[in-house]
Amino acid sequence: MGELEDAVMTRVWKWNRPVTVREVLEDLQQERSIAYTTVMTVLDNLHQKGWVRRESEGRAYRYEAVSTRAAYAAALMNDAWSQSDNPAAALIAFFGMMSEEQRQALRDAIRIVQGPETSAQGPETSAPNPGSVPDGGER
């Protein structure tokens, strides 16, 4: 997603409702000089890419996000990670770049994904089997 597409999507996600080209234009004009047709083209491109859906309202459209900003960020991370020839090393490098706040958010997310049954088992049952390797195979 380009810089202008991101600026438009930021507003669509933030407002969390169907928006018109005019609404996005007026908000963007507080930061930069931009034409109505430019915003209309960007929203049309985002529609073609599948990031927004649109409903006709009179002679105009109202645009609404198809997914959340979190889903977009996750897709970017997944795409970048899947392009690595060494996913484990990529994750280690990524974790090394994280702030303590980001690492805590990661720990919280892992707890949520694992669910209460995993964290309620206790350390003795959640420890890896010493005879197995990380990919689940046996030594």
- Helix/strand/coil (H, E, C) string of 85-137? CCHHHHHHHHHHHCCHHHHHHHHHHHHHHHHHHHHCCCHHHHCCCCCECCCCC
Q: What is the pLDDT of residue 118?
A: 53
Q: What is the pLDDT of residue 1?
A: 80
- Both tokens assigned to 99: 């702030």
Segment 14-68, tens digit of pLDDT: 999 999 999 999 999 999 999 999 999 999 999 999 999 999 999 999 999 999 9
pLDDT band at 108 (very low <50, low <70, confident <90, very high): very high
19, 63 Cβ separation under 8 angstroms: yes
User: Would the pLDDT of 130 be above 50?
Assistant: no
Segment 55-83, tens digit of pLDDT: 999 999 999 999 999 998 888 888 888 89
What are 65's strand-pairing partners?
Answer: 52
Q: What is the dihedral of CA 76, 77, 83, 85, to 10 degrees?
A: 170
